[in-house]
Structure 1
Amino acid sequence: MSTGTAIAADPYVVSCTLAPRYEAVRSARDFARTTLRNWGLESLFDDVALVASELVTNALRHAVGAPPDGCTGQGIQVPAQPGRLQAADSRTPIRISLVHRAPQVVCAVSDPSSQGPVAREADFVAESGRGLHLVDSFSSSWGWHPLAGAGKVVWALFESAPATGTGRHRSA
């Protein structure tokens, strides 16, 4: 569950702070569903939800110390309480934001780590490591920027109008 949702003065810029818990991924998808529905952009939900899930999962794994795939090992922080993760820097929580500026929607996830995301070589047998490849495949473009002080934001851009010509989205 999220720790709170804030709707700015601009109804097309919304954010949700996510608790550093495994449930944050579901909260991010629920937030995306509600927001896109309010904007009349339900058709984007599948792509935005998949990308939001990947970006929040990466933030949990790499920024707040979630054990990948439920494993424990050297250098991995184990939750003190079941379901709760240990934040690396509680001053910068995980936050998901959606911005709609027709004809585009941006999904952005900020976290306390200053290290940028690194796409691994695609290994289609591994259980993890394909997240950024999915982000690249399901969004028009993506990138990241460091935040002032500490942390970063990873963003993905989606076209809210039907693409003409050579768009990256699949046709139905």
Structure 2
Amino acid sequence: MGTNGSTMLAPLRQGLPARDPAQISSSASCTLPARYEAVRGARQFTVTTLGEWSLGDRSDDIALVVSELVTNALRHALPSEPPHGAQDPPVRLHLMRWPGRLVCAVRDPSPESPGGEDGAFPDPRGTAESGRGLFLVEAFSDGWGWHPLAGALHGKVVWALFRIGQNGN
């Protein structure tokens, strides 16, 4: 993903047995175009992938979180004009499964925190017409966070963790 897996996944280990990032059970990723129609494609990709992994019973909650993460990336993280000659896709969705957990990660080109400068929710009461996406991510996932990318890739990865049973569900 352009960042050291152990750096990105270190916070995901809190409260769970340690896993070697190299021991991923299953993974899938897709490139998303810089258009809002990409949200529908991300949901479909997630539902199809989860079905293939026998996690279809979790697809509604996980697809909702993926939708929010992708929407935030498209709305807040893309530059108004793409850099000339840019070869990296603007947004990528990664799904990674280990025994007992699933991680959805969305990579985007912005180094800014998903909650603004201080990482706080825009509307702490959650009553605004927009800006509730991170509330939904927090409510439907077992944890979420973000990490800046290192190396040749610029931007960040925003992730959400879901605990799943050892055999899937």
Q: Which category of TM-score, normalised to the shorter sequence, fits these structures?
A: 0.7 to 0.9
Instruction: Give 2:69's aligned residue.
Output: 55
Alignment of 1:7-156 (within 5 A): 12-65=26-79, 77=80, 86-87=81-82, 90=86, 91-118=88-115, 119-148=121-150, 149-156=153-160
Secondary structure in structure 1 of the residue aligned to 2:49: helix
Cα distance in structure 2, aligned partners of 1:31 and 1:11: 18
Cα distance in structure 2, aligned partners of 1:120 and 1:43: 32
Deviation per CA, 1:105-154: give whole Å up to 9, x if none.
00000000011111223344422011111101100000000001411000
The answer to whether the 8 Å contact 2:126/2:135 transfers is: no
Secondary structure in structure 2 of the residue aligned to 1:55: helix
- Relative contact order: is structure 1 or structure 2 higher (C-alpha 8 Å, sep ≥ 6)? 2
The structure carrying a bigger helix percent of its residues is: 2
Cα distance in structure 1, aligned partners of 2:69 and 2:77: 11
**Cα RMSD, aligned residues only:** 2.0
Unaligned runs of 5+ in 2: 1-23, 116-120
> Aligned pair count?
134
Letter matched to residue 41 of structure 2? S
Deviation per CA, 1:49-86: give whole Å up to 9, x if none.
11100000000011115xxxxxxxxxxx4xxxxxxxx5
Q: Report the alpha carbon displacement of residue 92 of structure 1 after superposing the two structures with TM.
A: 4.7
Unaligned runs of 5+ in 1: 1-9, 66-76, 78-85, 163-172
TM-score, structure 2 length as denominator? Answer: 0.73
* Deviation beyond 6 Å, 4+ runs, structure 1: none
Q: Report the alpha carbon displacement of residue 88 of structure 1 after superposing the two structures with TM.
A: 6.1
Q: 1:25 to 1:97 in 2, by over 3 A?
A: same
Identity of aligned residues (%): 53
Instruction: Give 1:4's aligned residue.
Output: none
TM-score, structure 1 length as denominator? Answer: 0.71
Q: 1:17 to 1:92 in 2, by over 3 A?
A: closer
Instruction: Give 2:164's aligned residue.
Output: 160
Cα distance in structure 1, aligned partners of 2:102 and 2:127: 32
Cα distance in structure 2, aligned partners of 1:46 and 1:113: 28
Cα distance in structure 2, aligned partners of 1:104 and 1:52: 15
